[in-house]
Amino acid sequence: MQKPYELWYWPTIQGRGEFVRLALEDAGAPYVDVARTPGGMRAMLRMLRGEGAKGPPPFAPPFLRDGALVIAQTANILAYLAPRLKLVPRDEAIRTAALQIQLTIADLVAEVHDTHHPIASSQYYEEQKAVARKRSVNFIKERLPKFLGWLEGILERNAAHLLLGRSVSYVDLSAFQVVCGLRYAFPRAMARIGRTIPHLLALHDRVAKRENLARYLASDRRLPFNEEGIFRHYPELDRAR
Amino acid sequence: MQKPYELWYWPTIQGRGEFVRLALEDAGAPYVDVARTPGGMRAMLRMLRGEGAKGPPPFAPPFLRDGALVIAQTANILAYLAPRLKLVPRDEAIRTAALQIQLTIADLVAEVHDTHHPIASSQYYEEQKAVARKRSVNFIKERLPKFLGWLEGILERNAAHLLLGRSVSYVDLSAFQVVCGLRYAFPRAMARIGRTIPHLLALHDRVAKRENLARYLASDRRLPFNEEGIFRHYPELDRAR
């Protein structure tokens, strides 16, 4: 029997780890969420100091351990895992298109982070609130419609209304997560933009109903969104337009 | 004979396109820098509207066309190209480590961009100068040493003092470019930090001397840095610490 995958991520937030977790859960793959186990946080800090990895140490969580391999960077972890989990075809052209979409989603996620932390990750939100408001205005007005419109366009052109080909791939799961997170963080903005992205919202609903994922989402393994993660609900940052 | 690769990127800046260009130039691969040819910019704008690509359209330049494939996202382009250009071994574990490093460099590059555009890419620097100053203080104090120290640690642990294995790979070329750009944008900060990253600076020099690259760097194909690109020199943002 294969050793379970080890997912290493901050134990109290969905954050970037959730994109990996969704793939593992959807595939029903055996995995340990290491930092949520006793002593796991201390072990993770050791790994971040570069102890125990043969290759380059992770710059930040999440990272995945598969046997001797330690792999960091969310999109990279998914590009490695997805063919093994049958969440992307083996064909190189399709895997390349998948990584392109995943990296664009990662860019969106980084911009979501910066709506509440436009100056410094290491400082409190309250210290950069006025700037956060300005950045959020721009994000909601320009960036969010551009990113979501881009995803919508891809879904529209594919007769299967998936981001890639004819079966659900890991990028569809990530798109689901982005919709969940954005609805939590920016409910007013999303209510308005929602009308322009019917295929993306339909994809969200379709992914949520997948058997393994539905079970996962209802379990206590799915952490609630909160104001420590990437998608944070600060009503003062959420505008209809 | 193989058709030349097509690199598509804004014609007046190094920007993210430069990471791809360095790989193509170093390998001596035939390529066309499409937007620098007559009519190229108009053709690029058509591609960005999704005309002509079978897969997902690029969200933004750079993108690469190789036959029927159109590939966007810098790190993704490099992950695709590098094995073909012999700038990374075929071995999956090493390619995964390479992509991990490249994506961490991409994160650094995105943070460099945000030092001068912390609120909105679509607004002028002058409109966000005060915030840019705050973000730059944090970048120089916390983020820059963390990123460069991480690269330095990898170089230090490898007896060959390269980021991966025993021969120069595309991530070494990207690390070279990051040092060039940072020295241009933040000469005072880099003069101070330089003392703590001897291996990274030595790698920069080693890469600069590679035959094809030295020829490229001396040619007019290498655009100068300027204040339209990602690495911009605004003296007011550059602090020794």
Q: Give the CATH number of domain A92-210; options: 1.20.1050.10, 3.60.15.10, 1.10.620.20, 3.40.47.10.
A: 1.20.1050.10
Residue B178 Cα, gap to closest chain A Cα (Å): 17
CATH code of the region B5-84 = 3.40.30.10
Taking CA–CA distances from A156, the nearest residue in chain B reads B56
Closest CA to B9 of B60, B76, B54, B85: B60
> Quick one: pLDDT at residue B2?
73
Taking CA–CA distances from A165, the nearest residue in chain B reads B55
> Quick one: pLDDT at residue B8?
98
Q: What are the phi and psi torsion angles at A14 (to 5°)?
A: -70, -55
> Quick one: pLDDT at residue B1?
59
CA dist., res. A148 & res. B214, Å (int):
42
Q: Can you read off the two tokens belonging to residue B9?
A: 């990127």
- Please check whether residue B149 is in contact with residue B200, taking contact to mean a CB–CB distance below 8 angstroms: no
Contact between chains at B118 and A118 (C-beta distance less than 8 A): yes
Per-residue pLDDT of chain A (241 residues; tens, 9 = 90+): 578 999 999 999 999 999 999 999 999 999 999 999 999 999 999 999 888 777 899 999 999 999 999 999 999 999 999 999 999 999 999 999 999 999 999 999 999 999 999 999 999 999 999 999 999 999 999 999 999 999 999 999 999 999 999 999 999 999 999 999 999 999 999 999 999 999 999 999 999 999 999 999 999 999 999 999 999 999 999 987 6
> Quick one: pLDDT at residue A172?
98
Contact between chains at B96 and A150 (C-beta distance less than 8 A): no
Could you tell me how many helices (H) and strands (E) chain A has, helices first?
A: 10, 4
Placement of tokens 């053709």 in the chain = B43
Cβ neighbours for A146, distance < 8 A, ≥ 6 positions apart: none
Closest CA to B110 of A206, A58, A109: A109
Contact between chains at B103 and A138 (C-beta distance less than 8 A): no
pLDDT digits (tens, 9 = 90+) for A92-104: 999 999 999 999 9
CA dist., res. A178 & res. A175, Å (int):
5
Q: Give chain A positions within 8 Å (CB) of B134.
A: 119-120, 131
> Quick one: pLDDT at residue A239?
86
Q: Give the CATH number of domain B92-237; options: 3.30.930.10, 1.10.3720.10, 1.20.1050.10, 3.60.15.10.
A: 1.20.1050.10
Sign of the C-alpha dihedral computed for residues A163, A165, A171 and A173 taken in this order: positive
Contact between chains at A56 and B122 (C-beta distance less than 8 A): no
pLDDT digits (tens, 9 = 90+) for A166-184: 999 999 999 999 999 999 9
What residues in chain B have per-residue pLDDT under 50? none
Cα dihedral: B225, B230, B234, B235 (round 10): -80
Contact between chains at B56 and A135 (C-beta distance less than 8 A): no
> Quick one: pLDDT at residue A1?
59
> Order of strands across the sheet with B69-72?
B31-33, B5-8, B63-66, B69-72
Q: What is the residue-averaged pLDDT of chain A?
A: 96
Span(s) in chain B for CATH 3.40.30.10: 5-84
Contact between chains at B76 and A93 (C-beta distance less than 8 A): no
Q: Which of A47, A49, A76 to probe by mutation at the B interface, max B CB count within 10 Å?
A: A76
Q: Looking at the DSSP assignment, which residues form a beta bridge with residue A32?
A: A6
Q: What are the phi and psi torsion angles at A166 (to 5°)?
A: -110, 0
CA distances (Å), origin B217, targets A221, B21, B118, B214, B222: 52, 11, 31, 5, 6
Span(s) in chain B for CATH 1.20.1050.10: 92-237
